[in-house]
């Protein structure tokens, strides 16, 4: 369906039928239009944006992925692009300018309207990844001494140009945040009452330099629609809206997914097919080299126990089972702990409690899986591969004991690594997997052959 719409648009462009293009897009949501435009050449996107009203063109441009914004911006002259940027919401303006070349930004800033330029400078000071970097200044903040009647007049006067009017932020003359009032409470209140008398004093706010994940946590925990952003003196700087948080959630999930799968580097919002081969290579190769180097340790462990493996070849048949079971139980444990850390249910200070819980769980898992491994050896093992002094029963005991120890150690390691990462302010997802799997493989081989030597007395 999308391909057909793309072809229709391109055909209209080839015939330079701009009125029909405008009619074709009429009634569609900016997000839907942006989705259609993403598959077109940037020059075509530029021409289509020119057919739309300025405000609507800005809405469409906002929904384009960053790489398409950058490519399309090359076809705007400086004056056109400056006018487009002025139509964007404050936080989106900054995001767009961040993806443009620095030389282009230097040309644009002087010709952007003064009020918007000052706003851009204010928001640009906050590093990416902070709450300040995703806040907007399009909100209504009013003095606590105003009456409800005065507030309603101000909302009517200013509301049309604000991103959110559902919550009014109550401040004093120093812009210190005093409370909030919902639009519903204002409408229902007596017109003679002041904001001071109807404000909600229990305020959830976030510092401008806090990690944006802190904002995400507050939205989720307290079911917020907007979240005020303040400085260290509790002065109101801006707000974060629920739609910005949805974008953050998507970005954080992408980052965590990439880290879980050993993909490094900054996610730039470029679609899979539009990402260069070199970029894919850079983001994958670092961790793969590290993991390959760690894999050499597994080889060294195998070499150490070469005589054991040579004398009892049947042990090799059960190595994959041990490695898979250890990796799976370790990953389960790590996933549970990483999730609990992300939801702030636990922290590094709870390490002892977490390890004690996971230890008990792992003992139960180890006993069950060890027993199943014992049955498997007895039922499917081939005694013809064994020396005369060792029975299939001995092998079953050795493998079941090794598997039980491996499950316990892998579970404990899986719980400990994310907690250790959080304690030193690293992202727990970064080491949860697949680094965990490699570490568990190394410890698993050592446990397996050491247990076999002890149990089988070889």
| Segment 160-196, tens digit of pLDDT | 888 889 999 999 999 999 999 999 999 999 999 999 9
CATH architecture of 2-124: Alpha Horseshoe (1.25)
Predicted local confidence at residue 207, as pLDDT: 97
Length of the chain: 458
CATH of 277-456, one of 2.40.160.20, 3.20.20.120, 1.10.357.20, 3.30.2040.10: 1.10.357.20
Whether the Cβ atoms of residue 298 and residue 444 lie closer than 8 Å to each other: no
Predicted local confidence at residue 2, as pLDDT: 45
- CATH number given to 141-241: 3.10.580.10
Predicted local confidence at residue 105, as pLDDT: 93
Whether the Cβ atoms of residue 70 and residue 99 lie closer than 8 Å to each other: yes
- Rounded Cα–Cα distance for residues 290 and 451 (Å): 28
Q: Is 102 exposed, middle or buried (0-12, 13-18, 19+ CB in 10 A)?
A: exposed
Q: Where are the domains of the chain?
A: 2-124, 141-241, 277-456
Whether the Cβ atoms of residue 194 and residue 146 lie closer than 8 Å to each other: yes
Please report how many Cα atoms fall inside a 13 Å half-sphere around the Cα of residue 241, on the Cβ side: 17
- Rounded Cα–Cα distance for residues 33 and 63 (Å): 9
Q: Which two tokens stand for residue 165?
A: 């009017």
b/e sequence 156-178, b meaning 16+ C-beta within 10 Å: eeeeeeebbbebbbbbeeebebb
Dihedral over Cα of 327, 333, 337, 342: its sign? positive
- Rounded Cα–Cα distance for residues 289 and 308 (Å): 30
Q: How far apart are the first and last CA of the chain?
A: 68
Record the pTM.
0.68
- Rounded Cα–Cα distance for residues 205 and 338 (Å): 25
**Element counts in the chain: helices (H) and strands (E):** 22, 6
| Low pLDDT (below 70) residues in the chain | 1-8, 10, 16, 18, 254-274, 385, 430-434
Residue 358: partners with Cβ closer than 8 Å, 6 or more residues away: 333, 337, 411, 412, 414, 415
Question: Three-class SS of residue 119?
Answer: helix
User: Residue 253 to residues 247, 262, 267, 419: CA-CA distances in angstroms?
Assistant: 10, 14, 11, 19
Predicted local confidence at residue 431, as pLDDT: 65
Predicted local confidence at residue 272, as pLDDT: 62
Question: Three-class SS of residue 239?
Answer: strand
Predicted local confidence at residue 256, as pLDDT: 67
Q: CA 317: distance to chain centroid?
A: 40
């Amino acid at each position: 369906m999308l391909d057909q719409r793309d072809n229709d648009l391109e055909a209209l462009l080839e015939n330079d039928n701009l009125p029909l293009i405008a009619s074709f897009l009429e009634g569609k949501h900016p997000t839907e239009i942006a989705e259609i435009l993403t598959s077109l050449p940037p020059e075509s996107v530029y021409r289509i944006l020119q057919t739309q009203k300025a405000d609507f063109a800005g809405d469409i441009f906002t929904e384009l992925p960053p790489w398409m914004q950058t490519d399309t911006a090359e076809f705007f002259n400086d004056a056109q692009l400056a006018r487009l940027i002025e139509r964007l919401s404050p936080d989106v303006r900054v995001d767009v300018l961040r993806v443009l070349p620095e030389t282009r930004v230097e040309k644009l800033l002087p010709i952007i309207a003064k009020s918007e330029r000052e706003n851009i400078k204010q928001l640009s000071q906050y590093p990416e990844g902070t709450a300040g970097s995703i806040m907007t200044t399009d909100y209504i903040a009013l003095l606590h001494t105003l009456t409800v009647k005065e507030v309603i007049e101000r909302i009517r006067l200013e509301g049309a140009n604000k991103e959110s009017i559902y919550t009014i932020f109550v401040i004093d003359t120093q812009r210190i945040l005093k409370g909030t009032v919902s639009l519903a409470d204002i409408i229902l209140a007596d017109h003679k009452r002041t904001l001071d008398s109807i404000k909600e004093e229990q305020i959830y706010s976030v510092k401008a330099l806090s990690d944006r994940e802190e904002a995400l946590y507050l939205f989720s925990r307290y079911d917020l629609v907007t979240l005020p952003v303040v400085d260290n003196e509790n002065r109101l700087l801006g707000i974060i809206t629920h739609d910005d948080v949805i974008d953050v959630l998507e970005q954080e999930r992408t980052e965590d997914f990439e880290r879980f799968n050993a993909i490094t580097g900054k996610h730039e919002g470029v679609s899979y097919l539009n990402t260069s081969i070199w970029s894919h290579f850079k983001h994958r190769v670092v961790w793969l080299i590290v993991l390959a180097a760690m894999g050499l340790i597994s080889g060294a462990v195998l070499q150490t126990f070469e005589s054991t493996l040579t004398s009892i070849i049947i042990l090799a048949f059960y190595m994959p089972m041990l490695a898979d079971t250890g990796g799976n139980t370790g990953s389960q444990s790590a996933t549970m702990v990483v999730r609990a850390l992300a939801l702030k249910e636990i922290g590094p200070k709870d390490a002892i409690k977490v390890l004690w819980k996971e230890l008990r769980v792992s003992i139960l898992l180890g006993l069950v899986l060890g027993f199943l491994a014992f049955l498997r050896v007895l039922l499917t093992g081939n005694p013809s591969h064994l020396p005369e002094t060792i029975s299939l029963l001995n092998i079953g005991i050795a493998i079941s004991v090794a598997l039980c120890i491996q499950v316990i150690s892998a579970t404990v390691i899986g719980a400990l690594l994310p907690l250790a990462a959080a304690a030193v302010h690293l992202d727990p997802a970064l080491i949860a997997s697949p680094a965990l799997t490699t570490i568990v493989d190394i410890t698993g081989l050592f446990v397996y052959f050491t247990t076999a030597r002890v149990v089988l007395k070889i």
